[in-house]
Structure 1
Amino acid sequence: MRFLTLAVSFAAPALLAQSTSGSLTGLVVDASRAAVPEATVKITNTGTGVITRTASNEAGAYAFPNLPAGEYRLTAEKQGFRVLALNAVHIEVGARVALDLQLEVGATAEVVEVSAQADSPLSYVTPTLGGVITERKVLDLPVSSRNVLNLTTTMPGTNGANFNGARRGNLNVQMDGINVMDARINLGVNSTIFASVDRVAEFRVVTQPVDAELGRGSGQVQMITRSGTNEFHGSVFNFHRNNALNANNWFNNLNNVPRERLIRNQYGARVGGPILKNRTFFHFLWEGQKIRGADTVNTTVWTSAMRRGQYRFFPNVQNGNANALRPTVDVNGEPLAPAAGAQLSTINIFNVDPQRAGFDRTGLVQKYIEAMPQPNNFRGGDGLNTAFYTWNRPNSFDENNFNLKVDHNLTDRHRLSFSWSNERSNELNGFMPQNYPGLGEDLIQQRDSLFQGTLTSTLSPTVVNEFRAGALRPRFRFFSPWEVDPSIVATTGGTPFGVDFGTISDPINIANDPQGRISPNYQFFNKTSIIRGNHNYKIGAQVWFVSTVGFNSFDVLPRAVIGAGGVPVANFPNVPGIGPNQAGAQNILNDLNGSVTNFRQALNAPGGPDPQYLAGEPKQRSWKAPEFAFFFQDDWKVSRRLTLNLGLRYEFYGVPYDPNGKTVGLVGGSQGIFGISGTDFGSLFRPGASDGALTQYRGIGPNTRNPGAQIYNNDLNNFAPVVGLAWDIPGLGTKKTVLR
């Protein structure tokens, strides 16, 4: 046997084709570089033992257009020639490799063994730029979050959510060929399905695509998940972090507050192996995470005296906390005379204004006072009547993810693969965190699922078809504190409502309201690869059914905002020496007395041609937008050194609409936006002009009185031609200098 070394490497990916595999093409030639037709070319996955066969055509060309990422052994043979065997041929995700096979005259019983090394980008046959984070790097590079997407920034041309300066909306992130991005909120490089380092085998980042198969963004991230092999492999892991050796921060030490807490456990197990050797394989991963933390926060509360209605001040001196330039209280909360001989004044705040002669009559304020902790930090508030309660607010996060992948070879011509994910997480105090201990915790729930199935069929030695279907269903739910515990909010006449205080931190955080969303994305893809002579044709199509259903309840829970309202606070100017503290005293009185300056509530309509606005109805928004694309690609090997990449892509993005009749458009189309001034930009800035009409809105789309109308007209001319080349410049050595 002869042992040779051959440098082999891989092309950048065909990503929007959603291909989770790579391709291997080339020519079978003899010693004179003449084509060798009808040679048997066989490639064997060394991990699974699965064999794929093809034959060279009349031009000597062969192709394996859909090879799962992994390590292979490649052989070529024909009567009258020695068998050529290449070992350690590594196919990366999305790779497109050109590898010519030269047969030597001899007996077929003789085998020429060749060691192939995947380390030279000069073998790429496409001008697309990108790189691969291999399995070894995925496991070895430190990522505390265990999310492989954090490794995208190690690739040239990436900067957080931007690839080569493009907008974050120009990104396409896929897992096993399925887009896994949030369809409602543009988050840049993200995946609604957790991209764990123990789940993702490898992934490719593309920063400059030149391929008709690509679309939906100039930046691409393509991940493939782990598969089983003929041997059982697995791991059990637990990563623990605590604060045993952490130092407290300077401010906590200053205020005698314990150090913040962070206890994190990331744990799980995975196993993969054969169900039927050389035929059916599986890989299963369970991964969990528990976080128990506590962050330091400052909550403004009333002092003990103020809770009894006793307002304190030094006459004609602005109250100041212990950090003020002129403090009226020391760090322990004891009154501090701002000048020699100054005497502390105390008034019963309920004896000043007869309209506000006591606590609120509902008992709500006194209920909150009972739950209110005593101040422990007099470096906030005014020191004498309000101060800080500094504490470590607890938070928690619990997550469990289950992932399964099964690969099955139906025959030597048909390969089936499917993967499934189910993820659940709960986060406490991550949405509207509580202000007081034990009162008003919120909750975030996330429930995500992903399914994808792929059927790859070798229809003939020169025709391969790939079909894929997938369903992504990310679900988010944000529970407000009063959903977790309805008893914490006030009620009047049986109707719950929130209260917005003016001088303390609200006992119940009403900064936000319940909300949620689900954004299902159903995807279908088909691609056919055809080898004809020196041409590798690919034709494909893809359909997306993208929708999103979301709601929020902003102000659906009525809000009572504390203040003077229509009845001004009386008599405070008559209090001797209150001067600079008058406004503060009046505001506290309004809070204690429950004086309401306004009461608001949002009314929403469920939709329809004749919407009715209802109390308690959340604001719901649903959007649907069908999309489809098709492409044609020809990778033409013009010569041994030159490959041309020619293609055409068409994309259709449907006009989004709300199926519940909540889509709104302008009467008269875009001309209606100019209003009474006219109908175009020339009508602007013309005082007194009245050529147009007042801007009016109307419901458009399904379930409205104008079902055939759209926000804008369909855009039907989204054609994108592609021209690229990879030229191994002659005279400089074989694959020494390549122009793309």
Structure 2
Amino acid sequence: MPERRMERIGAWAAPACSTVPGLHSALSISLFPLKGGYMRQEFFRKNKLLIALGLALLAMTSPAWGQFTQGRVNVTVLDPQQAVVQGAVLELVDLATNEVRVGETQTAGTYSFINLPPGKYRLTISKPGFRNTVYDEVVVSATKATDIMTTLQVGSPTEVVTVEAAAPVVQTTQVAIGSVIDLKQIENLPLAGRDISGLSRIVAGYTGTWNGLPSIAQGNNVDGVISSTSRMKFSGNSAPTIQVRLENIEEMTVQTDQLDMNQGFGMAAMQSSFITRRGTNEYHGQVFWDLRNDNLNANTWYNNARGVRRPELILNEFGGSVGGPIRKDKLFFFFSLSTQRRPGSTTRSSTFLPTSAQQGNFTYIGTDGQTRTVNVFTVAKNFDSTLPGSVNSVIATQLQRINNAVTQGSVTTTTDPIINNVSWTSPNPQISWFPTFRVDYTPTQKWRINLAVNQTKITAPNSGSPYFPGEEFIKIAGGSKSNRINSSLGIDWSATSTFINSFRFGFLYPPSWNPWSDDPAFFGYL
């Protein structure tokens, strides 16, 4: 088992809501034992400024829970007699960026590499008097631990023992129940849309919810930053407010039980985690185009019965991404931009009074079973001569607007003789933008910085349901708009191989406007 380490984790955040910018930040300091004990007093005297800045940040923020979604590698080194080996030098190399991390096994023969981006790594284990052992491909997954137990062989360090691969198949240092979804396999599937948040429902244990958990126990994050306001979770909270799209996300994990103290934000027993793609030492990219239309679609029976044409469906979804080095082995970028254009339409229906009813004629079935028609204005006038005998001018004007509008739809009668139905096809276009940007910078072996921004901007100018056909009523109904941004900043400082400081800052901005219109006259209608 890996040696126990002292970890202290704290986080700070300000609350967020659906209409105002929200701020989520997390600061984590992990203190690991040094040789001969914990940090000495000299460290505090030499780093007064750093400690003061940390205390100032504490004073300016309010308490909340932080989250870490990166992976880790736990290494245990034994000799041929199965005794632990202290002082074995470990070198872990990120195969995508050539970033090097160095550690040394402690008294229990163990060492843990933490805060690792998902990907493939090469691990080299060396110790004088033993052959070097090299793991060519160590797979690291988000929120998971890859446990490696190796037995060194006596020999010259110039001799190398190569192990082909190590992946987090059986975890001996974690009890969390979860799944990693392989997006490389998903990319080859004909998906209806590129938002992958719904894939959380394909993991084992989902039966409408996860392992029987209530909907309020769900949570989600993007790059370790809470990505929904977590308010009003009656319908669930497993999907972020932004679209986590196939071209933008490197890895998706779903944890359904036994979350550790670094995850769940203290208010979720199920967590969907998403990691933004990153750049590597090789340029890579992709382009895609998804086109769908209604040429082969059948109309509904309901529309055919009422003489309403088939709703229009045209979907154009296209975009691309590119990533690579800005400065080899040091600075990397990833950028993606995609858009969805849907100039579609929706079938609407409404009811209105026919002309005879507008004139005051009320048809009903009497107690004798006979159908009768009376004029309510005449009845009212006979009861009290001061009551009006016709529709007033304001109502008459509104009724005329309705009469003009229903001519643009399909009018049918109902079982009620004073109520008619009108059905029509109303335009309902939608334009969406999905930009994503990430930068990773490793200025030295001790410092690592990453910044990621994901945005989802959707404009649907006619999403409101108009009361009747026609341009005038479409303008009155209005539409909706949203512009949601999720960003994260991570800074890791490895003072020594056993003393690591991690800072995580997140910003969630989830505003939406409904109703909304870019037509100034819309507010006059309201």
| TM-score normalised by the chain length of structure 1 | 0.56
Shift of 1:395: 1.6
Report SS of the residue matched to 1:407.
strand
Question: Structure 1 residues 18, 482: closer, same or farther in 2, change over 3 A?
Answer: closer
Shift of 1:437: 2.5
Question: Structure 1 residues 367, 182: closer, same or farther in 2, change over 3 A?
Answer: farther
What is the distance in 2 between the residues matched to 1:140 and 1:117?
Answer: 25
- Note if 1:356 corresponds to 2:392: no
Report SS of the residue matched to 2:296.
coil
Report SS of the residue matched to 1:377.
strand
**Which residue in 2 is equivalent to 1:450?**
486
**Which residue in 1 is equivalent to 2:217?**
170
What is the distance in 2 between the residues matched to 1:318 and 1:246?
Answer: 50
User: Which structure has the larger Rg over C-alpha atoms?
Assistant: 1
What is the distance in 2 between the residues matched to 1:32 and 1:92?
Answer: 32
Shift of 1:119: 6.5
Query: What are the equivalent positions in structure 2 for 1:268-279 lying under 5 Å apart?
Result: 268-279=319-330
Question: Structure 1 residues 481, 450: closer, same or farther in 2, change over 3 A?
Answer: closer
Report SS of the residue matched to 2:187.
helix
Shift of 1:242: 1.0
- Note if 1:127 corresponds to 2:175: yes
Question: Structure 1 residues 96, 134: closer, same or farther in 2, change over 3 A?
Answer: same
Question: Structure 1 residues 316, 25: closer, same or farther in 2, change over 3 A?
Answer: closer
**Which residue in 1 is equivalent to 2:448?**
415
Residues 557-605 of structure 1 show CA distances to partners (whole Å, capped at 9, x for unaligned) of xxxxxxxxxxxxxxxxxxxxxxxxxxxxxxxxxxxxxxxxxxxxxxxxx
What is the distance in 2 between the residues matched to 1:315 and 1:131?
Answer: 64
Range with greater deviation from structure 2 (402-411 or 286-295): 286-295
Percent identical across equivalent pairs? 25
AA partner of residue 498 (structure 2) = T
Residues 178-236 of structure 1 show CA distances to partners (whole Å, capped at 9, x for unaligned) of 00112433242121121111111112111111533333211111111101111111111
Shift of 1:275: 0.7
**Which residue in 1 is equivalent to 2:295?**
244
Query: What are the equivalent positions in structure 2 for 1:408-487 lying under 5 Å apart?
Result: 408-438=441-471, 439=473, 440-479=476-515, 485-486=521-522
**Which residue in 1 is equivalent to 2:88?**
39
**Which residue in 2 is equivalent to 1:146?**
194
Report SS of the residue matched to 1:410.
strand
What is the distance in 2 between the residues matched to 1:175 and 1:231?
Answer: 25
Residues 245-300 of structure 1 show CA distances to partners (whole Å, capped at 9, x for unaligned) of 01111222222211122222222111111111111111111121122332323222
Match of 2:412 among 375, 378, 393: 378
- Note if 1:259 corresponds to 2:293: no
The answer to whether the 8 Å contact 2:306/2:412 transfers is: no
What is the distance in 2 between the residues matched to 1:227 and 1:304?
Answer: 65
What is the distance in 1 between the residues matched to 2:118 and 2:523?
Answer: 56
The answer to whether the 8 Å contact 2:481/2:516 transfers is: no
The answer to whether the 8 Å contact 2:180/2:251 transfers is: yes
The answer to whether the 8 Å contact 1:443/1:484 transfers is: no
Instruction: Specify which structure has the higher proportion of helix.
Output: 2
Residues 417-453 of structure 1 show CA distances to partners (whole Å, capped at 9, x for unaligned) of 1111333211234344443322123211112122211
What is the distance in 2 between the residues matched to 1:297 and 1:242?
Answer: 20
Question: Structure 1 residues 382, 88: closer, same or farther in 2, change over 3 A?
Answer: same
**Which residue in 2 is equivalent to 1:113?**
162
Shift of 1:113: 1.3
Residues 536-572 of structure 1 show CA distances to partners (whole Å, capped at 9, x for unaligned) of xxxxxxxxxxxxxxxxxxxxxxxxxxxxxxxxxxxxx
Shift of 1:481: 7.8
The answer to whether the 8 Å contact 1:425/1:447 transfers is: yes
Match of 2:251 among 188, 191, 202: 202
AA partner of residue 356 (structure 1) = P
What is the distance in 2 between the residues matched to 1:372 and 1:390?
Answer: 11
Shift of 1:26: 2.0
What is the distance in 2 between the residues matched to 1:463 and 1:248?
Answer: 66
Question: Structure 1 residues 301, 412: closer, same or farther in 2, change over 3 A?
Answer: same
The answer to whether the 8 Å contact 1:30/1:102 transfers is: yes
The answer to whether the 8 Å contact 2:439/2:450 transfers is: yes
The answer to whether the 8 Å contact 1:236/1:269 transfers is: yes
AA partner of residue 47 (structure 1) = A
Shift of 1:33: 1.9
What is the distance in 1 between the residues matched to 2:522 and 2:172?
Answer: 62
**Which residue in 2 is equivalent to 1:713?**
none
Query: What are the equivalent positions in structure 2 for 1:539-688 lying under 5 Å apart?
Result: none
What is the distance in 2 between the residues matched to 1:349 and 1:239?
Answer: 59
The answer to whether the 8 Å contact 2:146/2:168 transfers is: no
Match of 2:146 among 68, 84, 97: 97
Match of 1:156 among 201, 204, 214: 204
What is the distance in 2 between the residues matched to 1:487 and 1:173?
Answer: 36
What is the distance in 2 between the residues matched to 1:345 and 1:400?
Answer: 57
**Which residue in 1 is equivalent to 2:261?**
212
What is the distance in 1 between the residues matched to 2:293 and 2:399?
Answer: 39
Shift of 1:370: 5.4
Question: Structure 1 residues 203, 359: closer, same or farther in 2, change over 3 A?
Answer: same
Report SS of the residue matched to 2:444.
coil
AA partner of residue 150 (structure 1) = G
Matched length:
451
Question: Structure 1 residues 199, 434: closer, same or farther in 2, change over 3 A?
Answer: farther
